[in-house]
Structure 1
Amino acid sequence: MPLTEQTRAAAREIIARYPEGRSRSALLPMLHLVQSEEGAVTAQGVDFCAEQLGLTHAEVGAVATFYTMYKRRPVGDWLVSVCTNLSCLLRGGEDVYQRLSANLGVGHDQTTEDGTITLEHAECLAACDYAPVMTVNYEFYDQVTPDSAEGIVDALRRGERPAPTRGGPLCTFAEASFQLAGFADPRPDGVAGPGVGDPSIAGVAIAEAGGWKPEHGVAGAPPLTPLPSTAPPAAAPQTKVN
């Protein structure tokens, strides 16, 4: 099916944000836009972006296949990403993933039979301070356990939208992709919620309590890595030759 007129109008709006002659800079949001309609970056979506931006199919495809947020086949309404990188792995991330895989009956990058939930391993979700973490459409659920993660997924299957630990309220994958294309969430509370909690600033609190300063070390504190000197090297002594 051809892309809708709504998507085409949104594409024109995206391109208009960039200076004349620089429209290729709109490629990343354009890819999110076509993904918001088709659930993935399809061959049709690649062709559309190439046509609108004056690029080749190969140029667009190279970008679309480089970033993991652009999906090569349609995902469900809910993209469940479980971090299994080191910090989360050591705190049970793999156990969370295996529980969800068994619950949903799918493996990595697979979608449930009803087409609603896609499960994936995530290499890092940039939230090591809250390990283990998972996201649903890029909204965070912190310090999950196999039981709590399963409860979140079960709620999604019942048609509910469980509140993320922090950040805005949950939205569908299509809605999230449209926002990533640069369009504001129309919901009044769309950007509500704290993004930083106590674990994120624990190091700051420890430093303040110990009186540690970035410019010098303190007795009992870990040694600071010395910064390389920017001064010019001293001149070598001159040897007088008779």
Structure 2
Amino acid sequence: MNNCRRIDPETLKQVANLAAQYKGREDMLVEVLGQVQKIACNSVPEEVISVISKEMGIPKAKVYSVATFYAFFSVQKRGKYVIRMCKSAPCHIKGAQEVLAAMEKFLGIKVGETTYDGKFTLETCECLGICDRSPAIMINDEVFGPLKPEDIEDLISKFE
């Protein structure tokens, strides 16, 4: 099983060290959350929020509200690889629904779910900002497109 199913003590220590560098710097919270999410397997769960709050000297409620406001952060544990399917009009017109259906079938999950092994989480987003490459997906920080349903198996297999 993938180690992204739980946050281990070493990861919490890394989070603490990172957050401590920005003690009292509430203006850096979004940046810290972005970096922490990469360390903590694509999520900012409650135990991580507590560490950030303590080390930065920011109320836990404030950290939570920022972590839940932005769509690219998640307080729910996610897979090692987060796949985001663009659902904007240009992607939709060029076949995003068919690509999404192929991903759901190949991974055996629906949008909002994570594979049993904790490796992949499937999400949709409003726009990736690369309409010239539609339909497009983002896997963690890497963008792929234009895609066809028959491209999905080979593409996702590269991440296994």
Structure-1 separation of matches of 2:120 and 2:98: 19
CA drift of 1:46 comes to 1.5
Gaps of 5+ in 1: 158-242
Could you tell me how far 1:111 is from its partner in structure 2? Answer: 1.0
Q: Does 1:104 align with 2:107?
A: yes
From 89, 105, 129, the counterpart of 1:126: 129
Distance 1:149 1:139 in 2: 15
Alignment correspondent of 2:82: 79
Question: Structure 2, unaligned stretches of length 5 or more?
Answer: 1-7
Assess if the C-alpha contact under 8 Å between 2:19 and 2:56 holds in 1. Answer: no
Q: Report which of the two structures shows the higher radius of gyration computed on alpha carbons.
A: 1
SS of match in other structure, 2:121: strand
The residue aligned with 1:143 is: 146
Q: Distance in 2 between matches of 1:59 and 1:7?
A: 17
Question: SS where residue 120 of structure 1 aligns?
Answer: strand
Q: Following the alignment from structure 1 to structure 2, what is the Cα–Cα distance between the partners of residues 139 and 29?
A: 19
Q: What residue is the counterpart of 1:66 in the other structure?
A: 69
1:11 to 19, 28, 42: 19
Q: How many angstroms does 1:102 deviate by? A: 0.9
- Count residues with an aligned counterpart: 151
Secondary structure class of the residue paired with 1:59: helix
Instruction: For 1:62 and 1:81, locate their aligned partners in 2 and report how far apart those are by CA, in whole Å.
Output: 22
Whole-Å Cα distance in 1 between the matches of residues 113 and 80 of structure 2?
13
Deviations 1:139-189 (A, max 9, x none): 1111111111232012323xxxxxxxxxxxxxxxxxxxxxxxxxxxxxxxx
Which letter maps to 1:10? Answer: L
User: TM-score, structure 1 length as denominator?
Assistant: 0.57
Question: Displacement, 1:44?
Answer: 1.6
The whole-number CA distance in structure 2 between the counterparts of 1:32 and 1:47 is 16
**Greater share of helix:** 2
User: For residues 140 and 36 of structure 1, what CA distance do their matches in structure 2 show?
Assistant: 17
Deviations 1:170-225 (A, max 9, x none): xxxxxxxxxxxxxxxxxxxxxxxxxxxxxxxxxxxxxxxxxxxxxxxxxxxxxxxx
What's the CA shift for 1:7?
Answer: 3.1
Q: Which residue of 1 aligns with 2:3?
A: none
Using the size of structure 2 for normalisation, the TM-score is 0.84
C-alpha distance in structure 2 between counterparts of 1:5 and 1:59, whole Å: 21
SS of alignment partner, residue 111 of structure 1: coil
**1:48 to 2:89 alignment:** no
Root-mean-square deviation (Å):
1.9
Q: Which amino acid counterpart does residue 49 of structure 2 have in structure 1?
A: V
Alpha-carbon contact 1:31-1:45 (below 8 Å) kept: no
Q: Does the 8 Å contact 2:83/2:137 carry over to 1?
A: yes
